[in-house]
Structure 1
Amino acid sequence: MTSNDSDEELLERIAAPEEENKRLRAKLRWYEGPHTPPSKDQSNADESSSSGDEDDDDSARTDGGTPGRKPGHDPAFRNAPDPDREVEVTCGCCPACGEDFDESVGVSPRLVEKIPDPQPPVATQYNRHYYECDACGAETVASHPDCPDEGQFGVNVVAQATLSKYEHRLPHRKIADRFNQLHGLEFSPASAWRATERAARAGRCEYEHIRTQIQHADVVHVDETSHKLDGEQTWIWTFRTDQYTLYAVRESRGSDVPEEVLGEDFDGTIICDGWTAYPAFSRDLQRCWAHILREAEDVADDHDQAEPIYRTLKQMYVGLQSWLETDPSDRQRTRMQESVRKGLEELVNRSVSDGPVATLLGKIEGGLDHWLSFVGEPAVSPTNNAAENALREPVILRKLIGTLRNERGMFVHETALTLLATWSQQGQNPYEELQRVVRNNEMISPDQAVPEVASG
């Protein structure tokens, strides 16, 4: 082996770990970046676990917090229900010596809540009579509210299967096992899938009603996250108001999606992050302060020039929050908007070198028209936490299911998530609401109900 060969091998061995280090550093930057959701931020969890008592494993938490409520909070107790019946539990003699008791000297009540044993399925045959009109010749088949036009399973089975999938996050195989074990009902994973599809088709009218309500809202929180459809990249969007939440799975992440969902004539305020699709759709925006504060803090950790920028932004935000609690007048709000905007303009005019600090100032400058909408409009929130919270459930389901199989899966996914999220917001019982929509709206045909996925 020549000296040149030895040098080349040595350089290759040196280059290999350097490439690996670059890859790991890039991955670490993603996990610790300002846009990484708290559920994926591993840095705080690592620091908390390393600083705690190593022997106290039972109370360790992965989110950096401590178990239970914070000190000083009043305890929370479950409300005891009124008893449906009372049973007198007596004893005839002393278990210690056998002496007979004359009468009890008191009562020690204990309330026990039970549920009935799971009931076996009831098979009902509906003999649907059909008729032919003597006058016009039209044929009519009699209908019954508990007899679906398709499938052999009733409303309760459909509602429970849908809840099991989207509320309890069970795979179709586990849903089938549940019905088999609890009720002795022969139910396959394919049956579970068809039950959720039936619920989605029946609830699509309500889905469209929710979309109409959101289109007329004054304020809408909007956000999006990636998803897979048949292994290909798509996006699941959420549109949320104080009463309604709507999900839409689309191939596009562009401004065409809010235009489609909200309508071209939408004139409300959109609360969003800095994604370019939103200003391309509407000028009436509120940019999320939580995002820019996280990003400013992240840059300040690595660059001293950004530290005063982050400090100024945080002081502005905290000060505005405190000032708004005084319930200022419209005129005071307008004057405050103008004053704080000037402060932001002075901030972005700072002379800094190129790099992350300049990029941060560019983002602040790019949103000058949208950072302070919440100051002038009382109904507008300064952060997009509502939409980010709404995306948590789809993100968890994404981890479990991996990909939606086809457009039918997309249709079921966005419809079921929308209905359950909205009913939860409104304090409705999701099981009763599912029973209602399935019983009342199963007349929609599959061809009418399932739309094509909107392309980008």
Structure 2
Amino acid sequence: MNPTPEIPAELLAEMTPAVRAFVESLLASMELQRVRMQAEIDELKAQVKRLTPQNSSIPPSTQHPHARATPKPKSKSKKKRGGQPGHKRIVRELVPIERCEEVIPLLPENCRRCGEDLDGTDPEPIRHQVWELPKIEPMIREYQRHRRTCRRCGTSTCAALPAGVPSGQFGPKLLAFTGLLMGHFRQSKRRAALFLSDLLNMPCCPAATVKMQNRVSQALEQPYEDLRALLANEKQLNMDESPTKQANQKAWLWTAVSPRFAVFAIFASRAATALPKLLGDQFKGIINCDRAKMYWQAERLQWCWAHLKRDFQSLIDHRDHQVKRLGHDLMRPVDHLFLIWHKYKSGSLSWKTFQTQVRPLCEKVNSLLLRGVSSGNKRLVGTCRESSNHRKWLWTFTEVEGIEPTNNVAERALRPAVIYRKLSFGTQSEKGSRFIERMLTVSETCRLQKRSVYQWLTQAVEASLSGQQAPSLFDKH
């Protein structure tokens, strides 16, 4: 601690006793304030050091692997590495000879022992197959549009392109593949152009990939809007959002995931006004989400218990013994709650039995939250008040069958988009944002439905080039 600043001797000689007393009290007060501020700064620094992905919303990627908690040492296994006895062997089966590009017979000419000339054939030779990439050559079709002059009126008429033939130089499969490279596999326009040029022998530049991106985005517009319109009728949605950028301006990427499809949308704001833009004004279902306040306008919510567990772990990691104790008291029934939930999900418990066993745990957690609110401890009040006031949103999954207690579904769907943002720093235009939200929607929806993204995207582009209706993204089966 620094000593209280002293008044210079030349100033002391000019001060009256009253002035000197006032200045000394003022300096003492300033020093006391400095000491308090330094203590608060030290406490805040200590709190920041205690924050981890396990007790806060800090992304796991921000923590160095070596800085994570060391797992409990396990006894070294005596088993050798690799497959264990009884493990099912996985081998690449030989393909029929008819599928081979070339069959090369290899006949030994001399005896490996005495050198005598050998003849004859082996009816069952050892078959050895080598897989290799074919030489990739683009398929190029030339359409020669002839002109003819009318003998009667002298008008020149040029032949039109057939239906489905693009006016540009990129066919539907190439358009779909390039869209996948940029929107699904998260490649930059420069790297996508490099891939097309080097591996597929198709001359391409970044500007050409922009044109292809816009063409693919146009083909996805109607299927995307049709899918987005279905959100209003869903009984349950998992939702999450993440910051992004558009033309160096802050924006937000939202996702709404149902059991059969997912919809992404980029808005300029995270405010509550974005929710009806995505879901419409008629949505009456249940939203599984974190505790962000823009979701509170919905009629019914299920708050994510993974977020709540991180908050309780934060209490456990606190230095205050009162805070630490409530954290442990809350974590015990929550762990028991998830144990019962996993038994229900595995089929070991019926829905009615699950509800019966979980009811006392709900009451226990609610009473502990009230204890935190009435404790007078600032840290506990801040953590427990919101959850206690809206405790009805904690237990929806125990009242409505089919609702998950966590929002992991939406977070898993959002993860590829977050990785894309970190690689590309967002989009540079309105058109780029529309392409990303549509491609992410197609990618995640096809994953949920176990469909081929490339096949569906190719069909959508072919339909767009032919002026026909694109296939639906909503698979009812």
TM-score, normalised relative to structure 1: 0.78
Taking a change above 3 Å as real, the CA distance of residues 24 and 301 of structure 1, as seen in their structure-2 partners, is closer
Q: Deviations over 1:21-70 (max 9, x none)?
A: 88976764665452123333436654459x99xxxxxxxxxxxxxxx999
Taking a change above 3 Å as real, the CA distance of residues 232 and 443 of structure 1, as seen in their structure-2 partners, is farther
- 1:77 match: 90
- 2:249 match: 232
Contact conserved, 2:239 with 2:254, CA < 8 A, in 1? yes
Taking a change above 3 Å as real, the CA distance of residues 19 and 390 of structure 1, as seen in their structure-2 partners, is same
Taking a change above 3 Å as real, the CA distance of residues 199 and 323 of structure 1, as seen in their structure-2 partners, is closer
> Do structure 1's residue 418 and structure 2's residue 441 form an aligned pair?
yes
Taking a change above 3 Å as real, the CA distance of residues 98 and 362 of structure 1, as seen in their structure-2 partners, is farther
Structure 2 matches for 1:403-414, cutoff 5 A?
Answer: 403-414=426-437
Please state whether the residue corresponding to 1:271 is helix, strand or coil: strand
> Do structure 1's residue 304 and structure 2's residue 324 form an aligned pair?
yes
Contact conserved, 2:247 with 2:428, CA < 8 A, in 1? yes
Taking a change above 3 Å as real, the CA distance of residues 217 and 301 of structure 1, as seen in their structure-2 partners, is same
> Do structure 1's residue 42 and structure 2's residue 73 form an aligned pair?
no
Further displaced range: 221-230 or 318-327: 318-327
Structure 2 matches for 1:27-426, cutoff 5 A?
Answer: 28=49, 32=53, 33-42=55-64, 45-48=67-70, 77=90, 80=93, 82-83=95-96, 84-86=98-100, 87=103, 89-94=105-110, 96=112, 97=115, 99-104=117-122, 106-125=124-143, 127=145, 142=160, 144-149=162-167, 151-280=168-297, 282-302=298-318, 303-305=323-325, 306-323=327-344, 325-329=347-351, 339-350=360-371, 351-426=374-449
Distance 2:211 2:44 in 1: 44
Distance 1:318 1:443 in 2: 55
Distance 2:91 2:232 in 1: 39
- CA deviation after TM superposition for structure 1 residue 391, in Å: 1.0
Taking a change above 3 Å as real, the CA distance of residues 18 and 298 of structure 1, as seen in their structure-2 partners, is closer
- CA deviation after TM superposition for structure 1 residue 400, in Å: 0.9
Taking a change above 3 Å as real, the CA distance of residues 105 and 354 of structure 1, as seen in their structure-2 partners, is same
The AA in structure 2 aligned to 1:99 is: D
Distance 1:346 1:308 in 2: 11
Contact conserved, 1:245 with 1:422, CA < 8 A, in 2? yes
Contact conserved, 1:227 with 1:234, CA < 8 A, in 2? yes
Taking a change above 3 Å as real, the CA distance of residues 392 and 101 of structure 1, as seen in their structure-2 partners, is same
Instruction: State which structure, 1 or 2, has the greater radius of gyration over its C-alpha atoms.
Output: 2
Q: Deviations over 1:312-371 (max 9, x none)?
A: 3222332344356444355x5665665444323212221424232222222321331111
The AA in structure 2 aligned to 1:345 is: N
Taking a change above 3 Å as real, the CA distance of residues 440 and 28 of structure 1, as seen in their structure-2 partners, is farther
Contact conserved, 1:198 with 1:442, CA < 8 A, in 2? no
Distance 2:306 2:85 in 1: 28
- CA deviation after TM superposition for structure 1 residue 235, in Å: 0.6
- CA deviation after TM superposition for structure 1 residue 20, in Å: 10
Taking a change above 3 Å as real, the CA distance of residues 99 and 223 of structure 1, as seen in their structure-2 partners, is same
Taking a change above 3 Å as real, the CA distance of residues 22 and 308 of structure 1, as seen in their structure-2 partners, is closer
Taking a change above 3 Å as real, the CA distance of residues 23 and 333 of structure 1, as seen in their structure-2 partners, is closer
Distance 1:187 1:172 in 2: 10
Taking a change above 3 Å as real, the CA distance of residues 430 and 106 of structure 1, as seen in their structure-2 partners, is same
Q: Deviations over 1:364-421 (max 9, x none)?
A: 2133111121122221111100100111111111111113112111111111111122
Contact conserved, 1:146 with 1:154, CA < 8 A, in 2? no
- 1:61 match: none
- 2:462 match: 439
Q: CA RMSD in A?
A: 3.9
- CA deviation after TM superposition for structure 1 residue 428, in Å: 1.6
TM-score, normalised relative to structure 2: 0.75
Taking a change above 3 Å as real, the CA distance of residues 127 and 196 of structure 1, as seen in their structure-2 partners, is same
Distance 1:342 1:173 in 2: 57
- 1:58 match: none
The AA in structure 2 aligned to 1:312 is: P
Please state whether the residue corresponding to 1:391 is helix, strand or coil: helix
Contact conserved, 2:285 with 2:299, CA < 8 A, in 1? no
- CA deviation after TM superposition for structure 1 residue 107, in Å: 2.5
- CA deviation after TM superposition for structure 1 residue 237, in Å: 0.5
Further displaced range: 151-160 or 232-241: 151-160
Please state whether the residue corresponding to 1:94 is helix, strand or coil: coil
Contact conserved, 1:287 with 1:367, CA < 8 A, in 2? no
Q: Which runs of 5+ in 2 are unaligned?
A: 9-30, 75-80, 149-156, 468-477
Distance 2:159 2:432 in 1: 31
Please state whether the residue corresponding to 1:369 is helix, strand or coil: helix
Distance 1:361 1:20 in 2: 24
